[in-house]
Amino acid sequence: MATKTFLYCSLLAISFFFASNSSANRENLTVELIHRDSPHSPLYNPHHTVSDRLNAAFLRSISRSRRFTTKTDLQSGLISNGGEYFMSISIGTPPSKVFAIADTGSDLTWVQCKPCQQCYKQNSPLFDKKKSSTYKTESCDSKTCQALSEHEEGCDESKDICKYRYSYGDNSFTKGDVATETISIDSSSGSSVSFPGTVFGCGYNNGGTFEETGSGIIGLGGGPLSLVSQLGSSIGKKFSYCLSHTAATTNGTSVINLGTNSIPSNPSKDSATLTTPLIQKDPETYYFLTLEAVTVGKTKLPYTGGGYGLNGKSSKRTGNIIIDSGTTLTLLDSGFYDDFGTAVEESVTGAKRVSDPQGLLTHCFKSGDKEIGLPAITMHFTNADVKLSPINAFVKLNEDTVCLSMIPTTEVAIYGNMVQMDFLVGYDLETKTVSFQRMDCSGNL
């Protein structure tokens, strides 16, 4: 029986399997997502209220957003016990099962490895590289090693082994060897598809606030060392996800699709699928889009936020927002947000403005004798006018209070996962585009 290894990271925890009506080929994989607050999640706490879970998710959004402005280390803003969805893969030969929260804002996948110089306590066994026949370290002068940033890269010259090192915003850290292994994805029929020679980090010096249920990070970002990038031609350089708004509270199912059929083949401006350019910027880990304007009701507001770099300085307005499935809230430039918030407040009917009891959300509304009327909000990306539903733009705190799920930021803008729910969001890394198609994600399997 495969050894179970729990992997814990920041953003998408996911269980890979083939859809029952698809053939067993690498180009069409479907990935089931388990929300961290779902009753199926190992992190589920039945004593937490809906309000408790929402506030925790909002705090993770704020903490996570700080990582995107870090100058020296792409990981240093990440909180080690963050993340919204779980995933399952296998590593090594024979395979060891890995159940993980995966991160679309990270590249290199890493796990705790035996023997450890320093490891935090975890409930499941450590990955034992000596028991795998396919484990192989990367040399210091390899292209893989050179793909790490200068702040992440190291070298054991005596053994010619490439090293990685990441630190996190909560003082957690991981260091280890860069290696290749066979990554396997289980199918619903019980068979699996293997991807030999996949790069990952074998961590032997790890510590901080990592929880015992986890042992690392799975990276699904846009850089060359991410799992998505490494699968590359095997999945036609295409993937998509469909996040259900019911996945955190019921048995609603969210998925990621990997392969040539994961997004519409001919998306066009005139169809139900809206397509916008994916902007190439540094760092390539992150997925940048260009937000041109936002419409609230009948009021269209040009988006004045610049594209912020890791040094916090405003740059060209192209690529001025990061689309990120690991951040719950949407963060918009503070200079734009004042007018935007005013437009929302003036458009809400049947309610009075109140303060968020937790002090996290800026625009909350409490109903009176009438039902709350919420304005339509449209996000105008380049060539893609994405109309949000009330469940995308607002969050219900209790029976009579709703809040806008968007907050201001003086740093980089982020298009979070609440505004993406019940859309098929497709990434074509070959044509460098992102597409949006409205659908019921709870019935996507």
Q: Which amino acid is at 352?
A: K
Which residue, chain included where needed, has tokens 């304005």? 375
Which two tokens mark 306? Answer: 């610049």
Q: Using alpha carbons only, what angle is made at residue 259 by residues 253 and 265, rounded to the nearest 5 degrees? A: 100
Within 10 angstroms of residue 63's Cβ, the number of other Cβ atoms is: 17
Which CA distances in Å does 5 have to 67, 75, 89, 122, 213? Answer: 27, 22, 10, 9, 9
Known catalytic membership, residue 324: yes
Give which of 240, 174, 213 is closest to 42, Cα–Cα: 213
Catalytic residue among 103, 107, 186, 422: 103
Task: Reply yes or no on whether 128 is catalytic.
Answer: no
How many beta carbons lie within 10 A of that of residue 134, not counting itself? Answer: 19
Q: Which stretches of 7-70 are DSSP H helices?
A: 50-65
Which residues does 96 contact at the CB level (< 8 Å), separation at least 6?
A: 2, 3, 4, 5, 90, 125, 127, 128, 132
Per annotation, catalytic residue among 37, 73, 324, 422: 324
Rama region for 164: left / alpha / beta (φ>0; ψ in -120 to 50; rest): beta
Residue positions annotated with a catalytic role: 103, 324
